[in-house]
Structure 1
């Protein structure tokens, strides 16, 4: 294990910045109708607060008919100011589809590529990561993550080495279950991690208890998977109207209601809902525009959803 650098909170204290400043979200607007950006704490590099996940939605093989709508999704992501696209060797053909399509539509230089290692053993991990980079046509890979903490103690050594060599730019760890949050938190405290990817949604807020505050304290970027809890949030609000007060926070759909709640948590760097539809990508992008709910409104959002 490498020496752990100063946490973001400790470093800020040393230079005299108070806790109130620490709590403020790092947001900028790149241009009119472009989504907010947030900084990766370990570098200061800005990424869009809404990205794109590829589980299931990009696992469509070589079919040109199925690939065509995904080109529109990618264009909508970038047009709205988003740039993060996340995949995994676990997701079937998704990595290859991402690599092919982003090249075809000429967006490679606009995107922040993230994928994962999902296997056991050092050499198996090296081979898999090289294959992922080839499939996604990303060299260096922006973010390489250890998927669901699979053999993480082995892979973290390779990732440290690869980062030093410039083969990858950032190191991350991921999981999608509440039961892994304590383990993620321990690794964040002990290792030099740039990103943690975790499940978090309005009806599953376990990450708020400790993991998200720890990530913010340790200067680790947070990427959110399962922001709609597998679609259960949409089933809960089916046929229900948005509250009238939601418009004051530039919320125009239930999807934006759910995503804005997550983005308004200052520990969150980027959410990555998956979609294969351009209209849904544009709607997701809308969650990164306009006014964010404050703490009081966030509580009101939770209460409203609970009482439906």
Structure 2
């Protein structure tokens, strides 16, 4: 197993982290996978309050003599925090589930925008974090993020974070926080954990046939999953890459790859392979947006790069998942940033280096992504999050 050093505290973290969101139902099988992973060097385990039964299962396994060999990462869901007492209510339940007295890496889960952070600050999260750190119950505090680059950078600058987590893979190099966001976080001295390296498996099971042919004919025989992981590990700014492993075969394959991968190790041939893959995938993309952000900020608050990214995801994620992602990333925020906010002022198009007809594309996205179900779904979800 290869390791990278957390520049904030010198923790030696395995480059492969065990993502605990997709545990199989058979707890004995889960235990075998977790123990095998630990015995083979995995020392970072990521779970969350809202992952069904995940914290409890992980806690039961680690309580069998493995707790001090690993770092536990879990998460606080902001939408469940309505008053100061809620911080302790959720946190203490997590400690109980995990059968531990401390959380090594504690996330503000899916911190969507700066306003959400401000709301937590007004409730008293800064005092609460300080209390928990003084007691040794929270070792490191950070946040996980889904959304555009500009908001990501704004959140980083709001607080003296000790780590963060973003979605990053060879498809999302220019999407969400993007490579420049990754580099910004690393330049701030933050260890960056990466989620969705395979886009929920879509970069293994839902690729065009032409892409599979490229991997099959590559000069090195690697699975699409291994190629995808190695692409991320090639980035020295990345500290840990999570994998939602749910079979022993996946655990073994990923550990083998993590025992060999190095940063800045890609050859010219490696880069050429991914360039070929991107050419094929770009042909499937509906809007050629590179997320350069020259079109931003929008006077009406539309997060144009994120809106385009979600729309492009229809080709990879499918319509349902793309629409869910669109709803989460543009509408379930303190200030919405969805396409229908566009007033057709045209300021964005003046600055677009790709010469995208942004106004027309946004109108089309409203039709495709904000159908009759959109407003009721947004209303019900927001109502649930306020309960």
- The verdict on a shared fold, with TM-score over 0.5 as the criterion, is yes
Q: Within the alignment, does 1:152 sit opposite 2:113 as a pair?
A: no
Structure 1 match to 2:143: 173
Unaligned runs of 5+ residues in structure 1 are: 1-34, 61-65
CA distance in structure 2 between the aligned counterparts of 1:280 and 1:68, rounded to whole angstroms: 16
Q: Could you tell which deviates more after superposition, 121-130 or 253-262?
A: 121-130
Q: Within the alignment, does 1:45 sit opposite 2:11 as a pair?
A: yes
* Contact residue 189 and residue 218 of structure 1 kept, 8 A: no
CA distance in structure 1 between the aligned counterparts of 2:126 and 2:219, rounded to whole angstroms: 46
Taking only aligned residues, the RMSD between alpha carbons, in angstroms, comes to 2.1
Task: Assess, with a 3 A threshold, how the Cα gap between structure 1 residues 244 and 93 changes in structure 2: closer, same or farther.
Answer: same
Task: Assess, with a 3 A threshold, how the Cα gap between structure 1 residues 193 and 244 changes in structure 2: closer, same or farther.
Answer: same
Q: Deviations over 1:253-293 (max 9, x none)?
A: 22111111111111100011102211101111122122533
* Contact residue 14 and residue 43 of structure 2 kept, 8 A: yes
Q: Deviations over 1:204-234 (max 9, x none)?
A: 1133442111111101011111111122111
**1:128 Cα shift?**
0.4
**1:165 Cα shift?**
2.5
Structure 1 match to 2:257: 287
Which runs of structure 2 are paired with 1:176-187 in the superposition (5 Å)?
177-179=146-148, 181-187=149-155
Task: Assess, with a 3 A threshold, how the Cα gap between structure 1 residues 190 and 246 changes in structure 2: closer, same or farther.
Answer: farther
CA distance in structure 2 between the aligned counterparts of 1:156 and 1:231, rounded to whole angstroms: 37
Unaligned runs of 5+ residues in structure 2 are: 281-387
Greater than 6 Å deviation, 4+ residue runs: none
Structure 2 match to 1:306: 278
Structure 2 match to 1:236: 207
> What is the number of residues matched between the two proteins?
261
Q: Which has the higher contact order (CA 8 A, sep 6+)?
A: 1
**1:76 Cα shift?**
2.3
Structure 1 length normalisation: TM-score?
0.78
Which runs of structure 2 are paired with 1:253-264 in the superposition (5 Å)?
253-264=223-234
Q: Deviations over 1:94-148 (max 9, x none)?
A: 11011012223x3222111000001223321221011111111121111110001
Structure 2 length normalisation: TM-score?
0.63
Q: Deviations over 1:19-41 (max 9, x none)?
A: xxxxxxxxxxxxxxxx1111111
Match of 1:202 among 162, 165, 170: 170
Structure 2 match to 1:23: none
Task: Assess, with a 3 A threshold, how the Cα gap between structure 1 residues 136 and 297 changes in structure 2: closer, same or farther.
Answer: farther
**Which has the larger Rg?**
2
CA distance in structure 2 between the aligned counterparts of 1:100 and 1:186, rounded to whole angstroms: 38
* Contact residue 230 and residue 261 of structure 2 kept, 8 A: no
CA distance in structure 1 between the aligned counterparts of 2:273 and 2:126, rounded to whole angstroms: 38
* Contact residue 256 and residue 286 of structure 1 kept, 8 A: no
Match of 1:125 among 64, 87, 90: 87
* Contact residue 51 and residue 270 of structure 1 kept, 8 A: yes
